[in-house]
Structure 1
Amino acid sequence: MTVDGPVGGISVRGSSHARSDMPNQDAVGHAREGAWTFLAVADGHGSSRHYRSDRGATFAVETVLTLLGDLARRSTPGEIGRALPTLAQDLVAGWRERVEADIRLSPLRERPGFESHVVYGATCLAAAIGPDAALFIQIGDGDVLAAPADGEVDRAIPLDPHLIGPGTYSLCQPDAIDRVHLRLFAPPHPWSRPDFVMVSTDGLSKSYPEDAQFLAVVRHVRASLRTTQLPALLRQLEPWLAEVSGRGSRDDATIAVFAAPDVGESTNRERNRVKMQF
C-alpha cells in the first residue's frame, strides 16, 4: 500500500498466480505536482507468451506518470487540450523506449520489434486531476471511474463494446496508438473537478458476475471516504481485494484511488473502523 495525501494505491497477487509461482503482474503508481494529482495502474498479460509483462506493466505506469507530469506544467485546460492529439503516440512511444532499453540490458530470443514487445504486453489506465481539469486515459481492459461532488460514480471512460471475454488491447500491439482512449473534462463540466476517482485492473471488476454489482462496490468505497480517511480505508481494502479476487477472477487485482480533501475528511472520528462488507 502507498499513500501520498489525497491519492493512494494497493495491489494484490491473484491466487492463480500464487499457485503457479508467478509474480504479481500488475503495477500501480501515483504522483503529485503542484495542484495536480496523478494515478495509474497497469496489467501485464501474464501468459507464457508475455513472460516479462510484470516489467511491461511497471514501464506503463512509469511512462504515463512522466507524461502527466509534463502536462501539468501546461496547467490550463486549453493547453492540455492542444496536447491531446499526440498524447496516445507519446504514451506508446515512451513505453516502447523503456522496453527497448530493458531488452538491451537483458536480450531476448524473440526478433526485434513487435515480437519482442509482445513479451512485455500490458494495459494502462490513468487519471490526472487538476484545479480546473480532469484527464482520463485507458488502453485495454480495466475500469476508470469518477464522480463529481454532487453526483454518482460512473465510468469516466465507457466500456469498450469490442472487448468481450478475456481479450484486451495492449501497448504491445502494432496499432496501440489507435486503441488509446482519452477523455478531458474542463469547466463547466462537473467532472472537471471530481471529488473521487478510481482506476482498477480487470481482476476486480471481473470478480463480479454483473457490472452493476461492481459499480455498487465502487460507490460504497466512495461513500466510505466520508467516514474513513484514505490510508485507513486502503488498509481495510487490501485483504478484501485479495478475498474478492480469490473467489472471483483469481487474477491480480489493483486499484488507485483519489479522494478530494473534503471527501476524505472525517465528520465522525469514531466511525474510522468501518468494516468493508460487500
Structure 2
Amino acid sequence: MGEATLAGDGWQAVTAGARGAAHAAAGRPSQDAARAARGHDGAAVVAVADGHGHPQHFRSEAGAVLAVDAACSQGLRRLPALLAAAAQEPQPAVRRDFVPQLVEHWRAAVAGHLSQHPYTEPPADPLVPYGTTLVLAAVCPPWLLCLQIGDGDLLVVRRDGSSFAPVPQDRLLDGGRTTSLCQPDAAESVRIAAVDLRGADVALVLLATDGYGNAQREDLWQPQVGADLAALAAEHGPDWFAAQLPLWAELCASGAGSGDDTTIALLLHLSVTPERRSPWTS
C-alpha cells in the first residue's frame, strides 16, 4: 500500500514506488526515493528523487534518500516565511535564498554519510557517486512552489481536468544524460515555478520519476493523465489513491512498462476529494 501523509491544511500527500524490472533482473536496488512532510503553519512539502544508474553513481540510492530528506526539512524550515515575504513574485527570492541552501544541505548530508561509510578508493569528486535528480512541490498558501533538477515529471492538474507542467523544460536533457544535484553548478540548473493557488483552481499535483513518463504509451500523455486524475479525485478520497498508487507504480516499473524504477507522488487538495475511506485502509 502507498503511504498517505497528512500534508498541511486542506492537502494530503500519497506516495508509492516500485523497483524496475531491469534493476531486479540485474540484482540492483531501487535508486528512487520519496518523502512528504507537513509543518505547523499549513505548509506541505512532497519530493521524489531518482538516483542515476551509471556505475560511477554507485551510491545514488543513498543520494536520492538524502535529496528528498533535504527537500522536506529545508522546505518546511525556509519556504513558508520566504514565500510570505515575497508576496507578489516569489521566484527570485526562492532562487536566491532557498535553492543554494537546499543544495548545500544535500552536500552536507552526503558528507555526513561519507563519514559513516568512507570510500575504499575515493573518486576524484566525492559527490558524483551520490548523483540524483530531485522534484519538489511545496504548498505554502497562497503559493504552490514547484522545483526540479534533472528529469522526471511535475504536473499541476486543475479541477476541470486541464493540466500544465509548471517548470520550464531542461535544455540539457538528451534522453541519456540529466542534470544532477552532484554537479558543481547544481543550483544554476534548478528550475522553479510558483503557482498562485488563489486563481488556479488546483485539484492535485503529480510528481514522478522518469520511469513513470517513459511507461506511457503516448508521447504527449500529460493531458489525458491529468483529466483522468481529476476525474478520479472527484470520485475517490486519498485512502483510495494510497491503495492504487503502488499498483500504478508496479505496472510502470514492469517489463510491460518502462522497466525502470518508478516513484509516484500525488499532492491532493481535500476540497476536491470526497470524504470517504477506502475498504483497503486498515
TM-score by length of 2: 0.86
Q: Give the residue type in structure 2 aligned to 1:16.
A: A
Cα gap change, 1:145 to 1:77, in 2 (>3 Å): farther
Give the aligned partner of residue 194 of structure 1. Answer: 202
Cα gap change, 1:20 to 1:218, in 2 (>3 Å): farther
Q: Any conservation in 1 of the 2:43–2:80 contact (CA below 8 Å)?
A: no
> SS of 1:119's equivalent?
helix
> SS of 2:70's equivalent?
helix
How far does the alpha carbon of each residue in 1:174-203 deviate from its partner, in whole angstroms, 9 at most, with x for none? 111111011123376x34x63211111000
Cα gap change, 1:89 to 1:101, in 2 (>3 Å): same
User: Which 10-residue stretch deviates more, 194-203 or 133-142?
Assistant: 194-203
Give the aligned partner of residue 117 of structure 1. Answer: 127
> SS of 1:264's equivalent?
coil
> SS of 2:106's equivalent?
helix
Determine if the alignment matches structure 1 residue 52 to structure 2 residue 59.
Answer: yes
Give the aligned partner of residue 263 of structure 1. Answer: 272
Match among 22, 25, 39 for residue 16 of structure 1: 22
- Aligned-residue offset at 1:53: 0.5
How far does the alpha carbon of each residue in 1:45-67 deviate from its partner, in whole angstroms, 9 at most, with x for none? 12221111110000000111111
Cα gap change, 1:194 to 1:84, in 2 (>3 Å): farther
Determine if the alignment matches structure 1 residue 28 to structure 2 residue 34.
Answer: yes
Q: Any conservation in 1 of the 2:80–2:140 contact (CA below 8 Å)?
A: no
Give the aligned partner of residue 85 of structure 1. Answer: 96
Cα gap change, 1:12 to 1:187, in 2 (>3 Å): closer
> SS of 1:226's equivalent?
helix
Aligned partners of 1:161, 1:3: CA distance in 2, in Å?
34
User: Which 10-residue stretch deviates more, 134-143 or 85-94?
Assistant: 85-94
How far does the alpha carbon of each residue in 1:124-180 deviate from its partner, in whole angstroms, 9 at most, with x for none? 000111221110110000011113445612111133243121211100011111110
- Aligned-residue offset at 1:16: 0.7
Give the aligned partner of residue 5 of structure 2. Answer: 4
Cα gap change, 1:245 to 1:218, in 2 (>3 Å): farther
- Aligned-residue offset at 1:225: 1.2
Match among 243, 252, 258 for residue 249 of structure 1: 258
User: Which 10-residue stretch deviates more, 72-81 or 89-98?
Assistant: 72-81
Aligned partners of 1:174, 1:21: CA distance in 2, in Å?
31
Aligned partners of 2:75, 2:21: CA distance in 1, in Å?
33
Aligned partners of 2:132, 2:197: CA distance in 1, in Å?
33
User: Which 10-residue stretch deviates more, 43-52 or 55-64?
Assistant: 43-52
Q: Any conservation in 1 of the 2:163–2:222 contact (CA below 8 Å)?
A: no
Match among 226, 230, 235 for residue 234 of structure 2: 226
Aligned partners of 1:187, 1:265: CA distance in 2, in Å?
20
Give the gaps of 5 or more residues in structure 2.
7-11
Q: Any conservation in 2 of the 1:169–1:179 contact (CA below 8 Å)?
A: yes
Aligned partners of 1:83, 1:38: CA distance in 2, in Å?
15
TM-score by length of 1: 0.88
Q: Give the residue type in structure 1 aligned to 2:188.
A: D
Q: Give the residue type in structure 2 aligned to 1:3.
A: A
Determine if the alignment matches structure 1 residue 105 to structure 2 residue 116.
Answer: yes
Give % identity: 31
Aligned partners of 2:261, 2:165: CA distance in 1, in Å?
21
The CA RMSD measured in Å over matched residues stands at: 2.3
Number of residue-to-residue matches in the alignment? 267
* Aligned pairs for 1:82-231 within 5 A: 82-111=93-122, 115-150=125-160, 152-186=162-196, 190-191=199-200, 194-231=202-239
Aligned partners of 1:85, 1:148: CA distance in 2, in Å?
29
